[in-house]
Structure 1
């Protein structure tokens, strides 16, 4: 039986079809696409500080606005590699439209990102935020602050620890002191007119001079072989080792650690621990200020605690947007005396929690403790406390303490008169002698004001809004954009990378809300 072929039922397909009038690249991009928003917004920003970095002699460079558009759109598309951006500029119609069919190579893209944008991208970012204010997306009256850790582009085994450096320096001092004591025993007459050097504060020159003195005294003496080896080792290495350690301490500044492959990164504990073993990794403490889920400021810090990052971050906000801000909302990681005083001095309403704020709200629950110093009755006129048994606790002394951030606080110490035989002693305290409490009245005063703001109707609104506002920005960054590790090294370059991400997130959100 002969089969009769059926007629094809397909659309016409002519791969090499000639086009009389070639189409424009713009015809392939919808009017609502975010690439159009990026192009129009960046066309409207001032880039004078970027232009200052260019020379008007030699070969012509690619236009900085075109390069900036390419970078922002690539970060919006989760494309972070300069080589992949180069490839997209030759293959992707959106990149080709942004670049006007120009094809910068990966070296040009990387150089523009690392050098041309250094120290100036924050100005471009703030202009975009002010455009969001003008368009009614945000008003900058209240901002929400929080932080997260982002892993650095550094080897996690290339650590340098501050305590280890101090131990090495102290070990050198001790060994040098032992050598001097041994020399005094063996060649006491040669050191009769030489006083023992002060080794509590040494420098390389003092070490070299001390070792030379010891070496001269022991030159013709019969010396123990072990001591001779120690002396030879000290002569060859101690001065150089001290110079290296001093250089490491200079890099550390006030930190406890840094990475050899990225000295600006500090070893921190990450919540997103893919190793699932809680080990420290080199990273940066990223701080976001948001409103209506738009990022209004970003800053990277090499300090792992949020407490110390708050004031530098807020000063930057005030510098970028003067006379705009009225109030700040943050979680308990920022509730320190120094931060409260800063907000009070700047005239900003504080919706910042302190560490046991939630426990106070559950007075009837098991978390509430009537023996806690802040829950004891205080007579401000007589400046005395009363313990749960009604015994007077008199002021014993007033002392000053310096916090890790360098802030001085005043501590009042109160002590009970007689705790012997008290039936509540086991629950009240377990220390020997009478109970002693330490009270920071200034911090309690600031916490009282913060409590009043937090429990008000406006405070309840901001407390419920904070998690869905700033946490959403971190979720967008880490999960939607898949950005959990920096590609660049060094604090300045990391700041650029985060600026491009913040611009991309804001412009994409602006585009989606405009379309909606």
Structure 2
């Protein structure tokens, strides 16, 4: 369907294309190390052609839809009730009508993913949110989902894809996703690093791991990284201090609620200290 891609890989209009399973199925047979080696090789080729400068890297994230349905979500249970819960759902598969049980035969989750780890305070907040969610959904024009449930990563898990997490972006539906963290060299927009994370994590929590991995990759390629560019989602005092410690200049805007420090401080650049002067 993409003529530019066909041209790039040397196919004409009437040439027979490889069968889709060459990509969609065969790739599942290779370990992660193979993909990492291929990625590093392609990046090296781009560097040899002068397409990567290294000094300025832009970082951003994007959700990746998991191959799992929200309808298959299972309810987590407290640790002391886990065995009783498992016995119940094995014998009475449709006993709990409020929480539909999965239709798949294999539960790929481990014990830790099936146990509630949320505190009483967090569970109380989820209960309040569930009431509001149900009320708001029932009031939608033409809504047929009476008494619908609010699902949370604290209380639910996917048995078919336990590493997937419920997440949502403004204006989008709640889905089971992963979160892709992508780094791009600003010279020619070449991707220099990419990795998937759990979708319930925040960008600013993942920045140190991204920087460590990317810094090592660029250093191995003989490139010097100077500037880190990212959006507000990566902003935090800890991250600013961390990037400064790594010798990187950060171009990350603070959150909209940030108002700056108190007035009256004078910075002495030569001796690196601030002096407060009352107004």
Contact 2:178 2:197 in 1 (8 A): yes
Equivalent position SS for 1:297: strand
Whole-Å Cα distance in 1 between the matches of residues 14 and 182 of structure 2?
32
Aligned residue-pair number: 210
**1:345 counterpart = 2:245:** yes
Once the two structures are TM-superposed, the CA of residue 354 in structure 1 deviates from its matched residue by 1.6
Q: What does residue range 475-486 of structure 1 map to in structure 2 within 5 Å?
A: none
User: Which residue of structure 1 lines up, in the alignment, with residue 40 of structure 2?
Assistant: 126
Once the two structures are TM-superposed, the CA of residue 126 in structure 1 deviates from its matched residue by 2.0
* Aligned with residue 111 of structure 2, among 247, 250, 261: 247
User: Which residue of structure 1 lines up, in the alignment, with residue 9 of structure 2?
Assistant: 35
Once the two structures are TM-superposed, the CA of residue 344 in structure 1 deviates from its matched residue by 2.1
User: Which residue of structure 2 lines up, in the alignment, with residue 472 of structure 1?
Assistant: none
User: Which residue of structure 2 lines up, in the alignment, with residue 295 of structure 1?
Assistant: 191
User: Which residue of structure 1 lines up, in the alignment, with residue 213 of structure 2?
Assistant: 316
Contact 2:79 2:115 in 1 (8 A): no
**1:14-48 deviation digits (Å, cap 9, x = unpaired):** xxxxxxxxxxxxxxx99x92014xxxxxxxxxxxx
**1:285 counterpart = 2:175:** no
Contact 2:63 2:199 in 1 (8 A): no
Q: 1:315 to 1:373 in 2, by over 3 A?
A: closer
Once the two structures are TM-superposed, the CA of residue 306 in structure 1 deviates from its matched residue by 0.9
The higher radius of gyration belongs to 1
Whole-Å Cα distance in 2 between the matches of residues 160 and 385 of structure 1?
59
**1:303-354 deviation digits (Å, cap 9, x = unpaired):** 4321122122222212322152222111111112332233223222211222
Once the two structures are TM-superposed, the CA of residue 250 in structure 1 deviates from its matched residue by 7.1
RMSD: 4.3
Whole-Å Cα distance in 2 between the matches of residues 111 and 239 of structure 1?
33
Q: 1:139 to 1:92 in 2, by over 3 A?
A: same
Give 5+ residue unaligned stretches, structure 1: 1-28, 37-72, 74-90, 97-103, 173-203, 205-235, 274-278, 361-371, 391-516
**1:154 counterpart = 2:76:** no
Whole-Å Cα distance in 2 between the matches of residues 261 and 159 of structure 1?
9
Once the two structures are TM-superposed, the CA of residue 253 in structure 1 deviates from its matched residue by 8.6
Once the two structures are TM-superposed, the CA of residue 237 in structure 1 deviates from its matched residue by 2.4
Q: What does residue range 24-173 of structure 1 map to in structure 2 within 5 Å?
A: 33-36=7-10, 93=15, 95=17, 106=21, 110-160=24-74, 165=77, 168-169=78-79
Q: 1:251 to 1:300 in 2, by over 3 A?
A: farther
Contact 1:267 1:283 in 2 (8 A): yes
More helix by share: 1
**1:453-508 deviation digits (Å, cap 9, x = unpaired):** xxxxxxxxxxxxxxxxxxxxxxxxxxxxxxxxxxxxxxxxxxxxxxxxxxxxxxxx
User: Which residue of structure 1 lines up, in the alignment, with residue 161 of structure 2?
Assistant: 262
| Relative contact order, higher structure (CA 8 A, sep 6+) | 2
* Aligned with residue 307 of structure 1, among 194, 204, 208: 204
Whole-Å Cα distance in 1 between the matches of residues 74 and 64 of structure 2?
19
Equivalent position SS for 2:33: coil
Contact 1:258 1:282 in 2 (8 A): no
User: Which residue of structure 1 lines up, in the alignment, with residue 101 of structure 2?
Assistant: none
Whole-Å Cα distance in 2 between the matches of residues 157 and 353 of structure 1?
38
Equivalent position SS for 1:329: strand
Whole-Å Cα distance in 2 between the matches of residues 253 and 124 of structure 1?
39
Once the two structures are TM-superposed, the CA of residue 156 in structure 1 deviates from its matched residue by 1.3
**1:227-273 deviation digits (Å, cap 9, x = unpaired):** xxxxxxxxx827968xx998144789997454222111110013462
